[in-house]
Structure 1
Amino acid sequence: MLIRIRRDGFDEPSGSDITPRAAYLQRRAWLKALAGGAAGTALAGWAARDALAQSRPGKLAPLAAGKSTVAGAMTMEKTTDYADVTSYNNFYEFGTGKGDPARRAHAMKTQPWSVDVEGLVHKPGRIGLEDLLKLGAMEERIYRLRCVEGWSMVIPWIGYSLSALIQRVQPQGSARYVEFVTRMDEQAMPGLRTPGFDWPYTEALRLDEAMHPLTLLAFGMYGEVLPHQNGAPLRLVVPWKYGFKSIKSIVKLRFVEQQPRTLWQKIGADEYGFYSNVNPDVDHPRWSQATERRIGEDGLFSRKRKTLMFNGYEAQVGQLYAGMDLRKNY
């Protein structure tokens, strides 16, 4: 029997810690099914995930982009391997397992696609994907992405600042927040049947956060359009916040005056705050956030990296939170 010993001074979260509450409550039922003869199915699913992990860029349509000149948008860190980024991620509409999106998301149709803009704006309406692609000049931005579960990646995204879309729809003076909504497709998204989630997936930003140049409306990565499992055909990337704030497969923007309650706040407000800024000094109630493991680089028993304040983007975004209590406003 292998006994794992931690060497970095921090406890590793258990399986129940890093799994959403709703999914963890179903674990006994899953184990019962496995004992009843589902083991072969589970192994087949893992084999499919392993096969998908062998994928490389060049399978999807190319998406041209120039290098970004936005301050802080081009980290010099080594990018995470494409296979890891496309096979290990969260997209709960397709299941709570890290490999579920890669195995299932291909069933989602992304054409035609449009985004509805509602609420406190002077120009509400529906914007088709082709028009969205023309709103800003496509840039490549190499961002760190830090997950609340303690792992991180470095990804070359393609898109433009969300502010280009916001300026087009002209928010009214009373608009203070932007709420985002992910598509619901009950036929293609089996995760929608997971109990405990208040679908559709919603997230939100303060308007000044949404207008910040680093807040990216992404249409691609690694020189290509987004894979389905990574949020096709368009998603948000907010690099100084935990990954669940970077909502995928967006179908609606709603501009409002009052702070919206997001999906994860509804599930556990004591664990997932509205701001969700990466802060190594504020622990998740069930594990430390002081360190992280870079996917694809750090071995299982190697020492973790120290988590950076605002995920390393403090110089660019720290002023947005001047005077705020970042422990209370986690």
Structure 2
Amino acid sequence: MARWSYPRPSPTEITSHRAWMSRRRFLAASSVAMGGMMGQGVRPAMAEGLQTRPGPFQAEEKPTPLTDVTHYNNFYEFGLGKSDPSTYASAFRPRPWTLSVEGLVAHPRVWDIDRLMAAMTLEERLYRMRCVEAWSMVFPWDGFALANLLKLAEPLGNARYVAFESVLRPEQMPGQQPGLDSLPWPYVEGLRIDEAMHPLTFLAVGLYGQTLPNQNGAPVRLVVPWKYGFKGIKSITRIRLVEKMPPTTWNRMNALEYGFFANVNPDVDHPRWSQATERVIGGGGFFGGGRKRTLMFNGYGEQVAGLYSQMDLRTYF
């Protein structure tokens, strides 16, 4: 397997550990008060925070405020509007929860999410997140590299892809109820195995040092920071290693607009809008951050461009 090397971030790109912990203490003290505002996903138990260590990856932008991160979401299981997840996620129950790892592996297993978190070394990583609708956020995720979980399962030699499946609970997720003009459920996604094993690829179980809120994908979601947001499947229940490229929800809905790879490429427009610039969420309201130029691979080109050196990224989008 290839060895990955990364440029060390400059000191100006890294929030000091002392400053970050001070912010965590403030958030812990105020989490009960914010619970009513942010929905059931933020609850008093979160005041304890997650025990994480600083991760190796940073972003240079100022982090998006927590309120914006938890109130402006794409999570169609709760509705099509950006505010629907925070409005309707209170009925969702992310515990108890199991996550299965199966398929072409030597050691398939069903994990209780809390036992899995205890078995992993949780890290905090500051990543850019960009959605295909041309808006972006930057905030710290807490979780662990997907590769660490897959290595425990020991992928077999013929495993070429990793398929993900989300939860199906229409009684708790109003967007999944029959008769609504939405997506086929459950939500499914996929990565090539080298993408899944890349150190940037992350399973998030928290953000801003707190347990992952319902509206942000509790209790565990995928984060692939160089791809568009729809690759970040939420509330994952099943991971399968397979030999053939698996179906993905948005590619199945409209393959002309949503490719399997979904790498951020500002030189390729979405058929209905330009992707050359993005609207920054936060910093004075949802529209207060202004617009900025979209970066190739969302700014992670130095780390991931080698994965696609033999591919035409206009054809394989």
Q: What is the TM-score when the length of structure 2 is the normalising length?
A: 0.83
Provide structure 1 residue ranges, at least 5 long, that are not aligned to the other structure. Answer: 1-50
Query: Structure 1: which 4+ aligned runs deviate by more than 4 Å?
Result: 57-60, 298-303
Match of 1:109 among 81, 93, 103: 93
Q: Residues 219-265 of structure 1, C-alpha deviation per residue, up to 9 Å, x if partnerless? A: 10111010000011111110000011011110000111110110101
Match of 1:325 among 292, 312, 316: 312
Match of 2:292 among 282, 301, 305: 305
Q: Residues 159-214 of structure 1, C-alpha deviation per residue, up to 9 Å, x if partnerless? A: 11100100011111111000111111111111013235221000100000000000
Residue of structure 1 equivalent to 2:37:
52
C-alpha separation in 2, matches of 1:188 and 1:286: 32
Match of 2:147 among 163, 176, 194: 163
The one-letter amino acid of 1:191's match is G
Task: Give the secondary structure class of the aligned counterpart of 1:265.
Answer: helix
C-alpha separation in 2, matches of 1:161 and 1:302: 30
Within-5 A mapping of 1:223-302: 223-297=209-283, 300=287
The one-letter amino acid of 1:307's match is T
C-alpha separation in 2, matches of 1:101 and 1:302: 22
C-alpha separation in 2, matches of 1:200 and 1:126: 19
Q: Residues 94-143 of structure 1, C-alpha deviation per residue, up to 9 Å, x if partnerless? A: 10010110011121111110012221111113111122113321111000
Q: What count of residue pairs does the alignment treat as equivalent?
A: 277
Identity over the aligned pairs, expressed in percent?
53
Task: Give the secondary structure class of the aligned counterpart of 1:156.
Answer: strand
C-alpha separation in 2, matches of 1:201 and 1:151: 22
Q: Residues 279-302 of structure 1, C-alpha deviation per residue, up to 9 Å, x if partnerless? A: 000110100000001101377498
Q: Are 1:79 and 2:63 an aligned pair?
A: yes
Q: How far 1:60 sits from its partner (Å)?
A: 5.0
C-alpha separation in 1, matches of 2:213 and 2:114: 17
Q: What CA RMSD, in Å, does the superposition of the two structures yield over aligned residues?
A: 2.0
Residue of structure 2 equivalent to 1:34:
none
Q: Are 1:143 and 2:127 an aligned pair?
A: yes
C-alpha separation in 1, matches of 2:45 and 2:271: 40
Q: Residues 304-330 of structure 1, C-alpha deviation per residue, up to 9 Å, x if partnerless? A: 200000000000111110121000000
Residue of structure 1 equivalent to 2:138:
154
Residue of structure 2 equivalent to 1:126:
110
Q: Per the alignment, do residues 53 and 186 of structure 1 end up closer, same or farther by CA in structure 2, a change over 3 Å counting?
A: closer
Within-5 A mapping of 1:34-53: 52=37
Provide structure 2 residue ranges, at least 5 long, that are not aligned to the other structure. Answer: 1-35
The one-letter amino acid of 2:298's match is N
C-alpha separation in 2, matches of 1:60 and 1:80: 23
Task: Give the secondary structure class of the aligned counterpart of 2:137.
Answer: strand
CA contact (8 A) 1:198 1:266 kept: no
CA contact (8 A) 1:178 1:205 kept: yes
C-alpha separation in 2, matches of 1:109 and 1:53: 15
Q: Are 1:97 and 2:84 an aligned pair?
A: no
The one-letter amino acid of 1:329's match is Y
Q: Per the alignment, do residues 125 and 249 of structure 1 end up closer, same or farther by CA in structure 2, a change over 3 Å counting?
A: same
C-alpha separation in 2, matches of 1:259 and 1:95: 28
